[in-house]
Amino acid sequence: MNKFSWYEAKSVEDALDKVNATASDILGKRPNESSVIFKAGGIDLMDLMKEGLVNPGTIVNIKKIPDLDKIEFDEKNGLRIGANVNLATLEGNSLIKDKYLALHLAVGHAGTPQLRNSATLGGNLAQRTRCWYFRSLEHQCFRKGSGTCFAQKGENEFHAIMKNETCASVHSSSVSTALMAFNASVEIATSDGKKRKVRMEEFFVHPEVDSRSENILNSNELITAVVIPAPKAGTKSYYIKQGARESHDWAMADVAVVMEMSGSNCSKAEVVLGAAAPIPIRSKEANGVLTGKSINETVAIAAGEASMKGATPLSGNAYKVPIFKTIVKRAILKSV
């Protein structure tokens, strides 16, 4: 790691007053003493810095800002999780396990127990892709602002099987898969003292829209919370992550299913696929199969099939298609 200075932010305003760049802004650029970026848990940032991809002049620590580590719930406003809540705390929260099972499962399968004790929810959303070309200093890839996606003709076994024409990276936050299925929004503070709330699908940015950034955050913005509506009565959910090994690994495929049920009938379905595309995506096709149906194995299999409609796997990752079909089916059957 290159040398940097260190500043402990006292408040959100203080932090926003100090920073002048996002990690993505300075990624792949020469060390610049005047660049100032945020750090929370630092899990992803430390990795990027150790690889020499991000070389800030100053790091502003936002992890000790008061009041960003609260979890609040009421039936009217739903669940509000402060950006600095760590994943272990989320995993251990009984209300989340009770009302948002898919989120509980997604958090519990993210990283290792050690990482979950440090990793914050805000940092999990803002982390960069683990595509090995993106993480390599030697590859000027599409996600770093050049025109070439090396995964298209290179090693692509863990890459995207949908919406992958320009860049085949997958977003690494499996927690986001569950959050999107629960229709979560990201609360963002801006340096002019205002706050804005964006839905998960607006928060993440497909490489065709912005090749260098995976989310809409600007350098004068900070995630302060994630807000999830209160689940309607009869809501059922489940989450499955398939990795290469059981201990811990990035997802090869993951899926979150949230269904509003009346009896065995599904009145509304949200199936979200992670590690399928450069950003987490809703499967409108699977949702369409489930909505208005009585949930049984035949319907679940049909939804799994539908979820992979239009998949465009690359040379090394067609194996993901049957995995997605299977875990979509299983998650649907497990949730009811």
Partner 1 sequence: MKIDKDRLKSNLEGENQPEGSKKGISRRGFLRGAGLTTVGTVALQTGVLGNSLQEASLGEQSLGPDAVLIKLKVNGRLRSLAVEPRTTLAAALRDHLQLTGTKIVCDRGACSACTVWLDGKPVNSCLTLAVEVVGQEITTIEGIGTEENLHPVQQAFIDHDASQCGFCTPGMIMTATHFLQNHPNPNLDEVKVALRGNLCRCGTQPNVFKATLAAAKKM
Q: Are 166 and 142 in contact (CB under 8 A)?
A: yes
Restricting to residues 75-104, name those near partner 1 by CB under 8 A. Answer: 88
Minimal distance in Å, beta carbon 36 to partner 1?
Answer: 9
The rounded distance, in Å, linking the Cα atoms of 291 and 266 is: 6
Q: Quick one: which segment of 59-67, 159-167, 226-234, 251-259 binds partner 1 (CB under 8 A)?
A: 59-67
Least spacing, CB of residue 7 vs partner 1, in Å: 4
- List b or e across 38-65, with b for residues whose CB sees 16 or more CB atoms inside 10 angstroms: bbbbbbbbeebbeeebbbbbbbbebbeb
59 contacts partner 1 (rule: CB under 8 A): yes
**Which CB, 112 or 315, lies closer to partner 1?**
112
| Window 176-215: contact mask with partner 1 (x via CB under 8 A) | ----------------------------------------
Residue 112 interacting with partner 1 (CB under 8 A): yes
Residues of span 23-42 touching partner 1 by CB under 8 A? 42
Contact between 161 and partner 1 (CB under 8 A)? no
Query: Which residues neighbour 181 within 8 Å (Cβ) at sequence distance 6 or greater?
Result: 102, 237, 256, 257, 258, 270, 271, 272
Instruction: Kindly identify the residues of this chain, within the stretch 245-274, that bind partner 1 according to CB under 8 A.
Output: 246-248
Contact 251, 174 (CB under 8 A): yes
CB under 8 A: which stretch of 114-122, 215-223, 268-276, 323-331 binds partner 1? Answer: 114-122
- Position 113 contacts partner 1 (CB under 8 A): yes
Distance between CA 171 and CA 68 in Å, rounded? 24
- Site of tokens 């009585």: 294
322's CB contacts (< 8 A; 6+ apart) are none
Q: Taking CB under 8 A as the rule, does residue 13 contact partner 1?
A: no
CA distances from 175 to 17, 31, 44, 102, 328 (A): 29, 31, 15, 9, 16
Q: Which residues bind partner 1 (CB under 8 A)?
A: 1-8, 10, 42-43, 46-47, 50, 57-59, 61, 63, 88, 111-115, 117-118, 246-248
